[in-house]
Structure formats: C-alpha cells, structure tokens
Amino acid sequence: MRRLSIIAVILVSLSGFAFADALDVNNLPPIRPALSEVFGPYEQWLAGLKVSPEVQNTVNQYRQQVTLEMDEGEELEVLTSMVIAADPRYAPLFEESVLSQRVYPMADLTALTKAEGTPEWLVNVMNLQAARRLANNGLFDDAAELLKDLKLESSPCPATLLFYQGLVKYQSLDQEAALPILKRLVDMNETPTRYRELAQRMILDLEKLEPKSLDHISRRMGDVAGRLDNGRANEKTVEIEDGIVKDLDEQIKKLEEQLQQMMQKQQSANSQPKPPQGEQAPSRVAGKGHVDRKDVGNGSGWGDLPEKEREKDLQQIQENFPPHYRDIIEQYFKRMSETEN
C-alpha cells in the first residue's frame, strides 16, 4: 500500500495535467511506515556499535515483542527501550522521577542527540518519546521545545508526532497552528483510534472556541495556573497573564458601557412628561414648540464618582459574570496575588 501510494504521487508529479502544479506533497496525509522502515535503521545503527552478546540478547527480547497488531505508540515504546539497551546514556533521561520534575534536563538530552554522528531517526525517536512523556506529565512547554524541529517525513512514528505537535498547540489554545496539524492527523491512514478520537474532539473544541470570550479567558487562566504549579513563572507566562488582564478589561468595559446605556435609557424615560390621567393631549399646539434640551449623556455622573464609589460599581458589574467564570476570575487574581507575595 505504501509503495503504491508513492508511485501514485510520482506519476501525478510527472504528468502534464494542469492539476499537477497544484499538488502540495507537504500537505498530503502521512503514511504509516512498514516495520522494516521503523526498525531497519535501528538494526544498521546497532551493527555499528558492536555491542556485547548480553546487550544483543536484551535487544532481541524487545524485538520479539513487536507484532503487526501494534500501533505506533507501542512501536515507539519498544524502539526507545531498544535504544536505551544499546546506549545506556539515555536511560536516566527516561526515568519517571526525572520526567515528572518541574525542570527537565533538556541540555543533557540535547547533548546526546546533537553529538556528531547521531542519525536523524535516532534524534526523532528520542525527542519524540521524551516529549510524549513530558506532555503526559503536564510539561507542555518542554514537550513543545523538543517537538518543534522534528521532521514528519523522517519520523518512524508520524501519527504520534502529529498528535503531540497538535496537543501542545491545543494546550496553548493556538487555533491557527493546532487545527491544520490535527486535521492532517485525522486524514492519515491507519491513525491509532485513540489519536483520531482525541484529535476530533480537540478540533471541535477549537472550532467553537471564540477568542477573548469568557470561556477563552478562563481556560488561559487555567493554563497560567498549571504553568505556575510547574514552576514556569517565565516571560511566556507573564505574556499570557498580560493578555488575560487586557481581555478582562475589555469585558469589564463592555459591561460598564451596557450599564451606562441602561441608566441613560432609564433617566430618559423618567424625564418624559406624562399627561394627567383622564385627559387627552390637545389637538392643536399654540406655542412655538421651543423647549430646553436635557443633557442625558452624563446625567448620572457615574464617570465622575469618587474612586471608592466607582470601585463599588465595578464590583457590581463584575457580579454580572456567570458564577462559573466569576469564581475562576476571583481564584485567578488571588493566585496572582499569592505569587507576587
């Protein structure tokens, strides 16, 4: 199937039809590599290491676990274990105690993967597996750092790579970046069922999420709380916080404007003269019709209130938020205050 698909792409690219020029190979759904393509490069790398019989025996035991029924994630786990068996320097970087730490030793992993002679497939496998474990521990920024330079065409596990690249973008609510990645994953042949179902849910969620809405703001607050829990009080977190405050200001301003409009309408309605009950308006007006114009624009004096009174009104305005969002906002600013202290 993989060979036929490649041949089809080549034929289309060589044809003289007009639609050939419009074909974007980079946007075609990736195809799951055959087992020989996944483990073949490993076997060549292992042969060059000249490992001991004990290591070779351990590798063979892992290799025997591989079946055609395995999905990509399972293949990646086995391949990682085989790499660690052949090169124990990677072992400390994949211990659960290290992966769950607030600060992952990124430099140690990079020193190994960027060493001279390290094949690209090995860089892809180890960075992808580390990113996968980090994302599962809630360290999405670290995972994103490891994933950003990985190439889909050279990955032995393209569906897994797409899923986690889409996941870290989804977590940061980057709709523009996440949606194309997740849709490409859904269109891929032989995508693991769990990846496809989760990707479809993330797509639906992002498509209905309105930027700067209360839902959008509250979820960014949750992102900030998670970053602070993981010791990420960095420039990225501050940038997100600034954006949250800005969007909250816009929401409060809208409520202020709505309140002023309501007060003006009420004042305008109260100022209109009402004819006495039982009497009808005269059929003809004898006067010239000149009346003093009433300024209702600032009649309430709300904008000129003392600061304490204004804060009181603002508090009442914020109470117009739905209870769920009001609780989130209150908890968020309490958390920010604790962090500053």
List, for residues 278-317, the tens digit of each pLDDT value. Answer: 555 555 545 554 445 444 344 444 445 456 665 655 565 5
For the entire predicted model, the pTM comes to: 0.67
DSSP3 helix / strand / coil % (the chain, rounded to 5)? 70, 0, 30
Q: Where are the domains of the chain?
A: 32-209, 210-267+301-341
Dihedral angle over CA of 110, 115, 117, 123, nearest 10: -10
Q: Output the pLDDT for position 185.
A: 94
Please name the residues in contact with 294: beta carbons below 8 A apart, sequence gap of 6 or more: 271
Q: Output the pLDDT for position 279.
A: 53
Residue 173, sorted as left (phi over 0), alpha (psi -120 to 50) or beta, turns out to be: left
Judged by DSSP in three states, 210 sits in: coil
CA angle 300, 317, 328 (to 5 degrees): 170
Tell me the C-alpha distance between 221 and 328, whole Å: 8
What residues of the chain score a pLDDT lower than 70?
1-29, 229-234, 272-341
Q: Output the pLDDT for position 276.
A: 60
Q: Output the pLDDT for position 236.
A: 74
CATH architecture of 32-209: Alpha Horseshoe (1.25)
Q: Output the pLDDT for position 23.
A: 37
Q: Output the pLDDT for position 31.
A: 84
